[in-house]
Amino acid sequence: MKKILVLTDFSANATCAAEAGLILSGKLHTDLLLFNTYIDYATMPSYGGGGWIVDEFTKRKKSSQLGLGSLMEGLESLSRQLEPDDHKPVISVEFNDCDLGMDVDELLVQNKMELIVMGARSHDRDDALYGHDTNAVVNHATRPVLIVPAKTNLKQIRKMIFATDFDEADFKAIHYLIKLGNLFHFQLEIIHVIKPDQKEAEQSPQALAFEAKVAQLKYQGLSYHKIGGNDVINRLNHLGTETGPVLLALLHHQRSFFVRLFAHSETKKALAKQKTPLLVFPSKMN
């Protein structure tokens, strides 16, 4: 049986993400794997160089074990409230002392994962971990990554909004969203943000081909249209605010380090300004 990988640091965002993972596992008929890494990015250099004392290492390891045990007990209690037709997942835990990106790589190799769920990143710019863990996971993932802010309730969501740039890989994501939509009765709105200086008459062959493929999709709650705006992410967040609780989704292009370093990334902008749950589909998704 496949698993949903829930990454947790025991924060409020991560706890909310774990509860979302439980609901998803019930609908998708998967089990649940809770994972925590107890060596954070800020302390890894001193840890790798032998600067840590044994007591600190032991303390963090024990804290990880206790936190995972407590989270597992809470989720097992919540699983009794799943709908009668939902799968009651087997919940397991793992922890490690490696960089999270490396850990995710290994976990995906060892397990058949349906998707990865994690809490939204901290917005405190004084935090040494600002955005690192989220970016590491998104850039290493080969399965979809759901990033959940605090107070998210999947049961309140009625619409998924997928932003397209007419990439061929978008259709893998769209088919996955249709699968979720069938399980949760979501509407699916596919949009393309057009900048004000773009002209409709100058539509590319790629855009026309994309529209033709969308027209062939058979999903009752599907709509496709274009909206105007200069900033894709601000426009998406505004659209989500207008329509009530939504799930935003987009494709993330995973490139080599030097290309990624200098490339503009809509995914990273979305993570920095995240207000709603965001489902990221990696371009290397298998």
Chain segment 235-278, per-residue pLDDT in tens: 676 766 666 788 989 888 765 443 343 344 565 665 555 678 88
Domains of the chain listed by start with CATH number: 3-148 (3.40.50.620), 157-282 (3.40.50.620)
For 68, phi and psi rounded to 5 degrees? -65, -40
Lowest mean pLDDT among 22-31, 64-73, 99-108, 207-216: 99-108
Lowest mean pLDDT among 8-22, 81-95, 131-145, 264-278: 264-278
Using an 8 Å Cβ cutoff, are 120 and 13 in contact? yes
pLDDT for 150 equals 81
HSE of 242 in the Cβ direction (CA atoms, 13 Å)?
Answer: 7
**What is the separation of C-alpha 14 from the centre of its chain, rounded to a whole number of angstroms?**
12
Residue type, 268: K
Among left, alpha and beta (phi > 0; psi -120 to 50; other), residue 45 is: alpha
| Model confidence at 119: pLDDT above 60 | yes
CB atoms near residue 112 (< 10 Å): 11
Cα–Cα nearest to 147, from 284, 2, 259, 275: 275
For 256, phi and psi rounded to 5 degrees? -65, 165
Q: In the predicted model, what is the mean pLDDT of residues 65-83? A: 96
| Model confidence at 102: pLDDT above 90 | no
pLDDT for 127 equals 40
Question: Given pLDDT bands bounded at 50, 70 and 90, which one contains residue 167?
Answer: confident
Q: What residues have CB less than 8 Å from 172, skipping those under 6 apart?
A: 281, 285
Cα–Cα nearest to 115, from 4, 24, 14: 4
Question: Given pLDDT bands bounded at 50, 70 and 90, which one contains residue 75?
Answer: very high
Return the top range by mean pLDDT from 3-12, 23-32, 60-69, 255-264. 23-32
Helix (H, G, I), strand (E, B) or coil at 34: strand
For 280, phi and psi rounded to 5 degrees? -100, 125
pLDDT for 210 equals 92
pLDDT for 52 equals 52
Cα–Cα nearest to 249, from 174, 193, 181: 174
Helices 132-140 and 100-110: crossing angle in degrees, nearest 10, is 30
Q: In the predicted model, what is the mean pLDDT of residues 43-65? A: 68
pLDDT for 97 equals 82
The tokens describing 105, both together, are: 């790589």
Using an 8 Å Cβ cutoff, are 99 and 38 in contact? no
Using an 8 Å Cβ cutoff, are 20 and 146 in contact? yes
Q: What residues have CB less than 8 Å from 265, skipping those under 6 apart?
A: 252, 253
Strands 145-148 and 113-119: parallel
Using an 8 Å Cβ cutoff, are 72 and 34 in contact? yes
| Model confidence at 71: pLDDT above 90 | yes
pLDDT for 205 equals 86
Using an 8 Å Cβ cutoff, are 253 and 259 in contact? no
pLDDT for 256 equals 42
Helix (H, G, I), strand (E, B) or coil at 148: strand
Q: pTM here?
A: 0.85
- Write down the residue that tokens 């290994």 correspond to: 106
> What is the rounded distance in angstroms from the CA atom of residue 30 to the CA atom of residue 32?
7
pLDDT for 229 equals 72
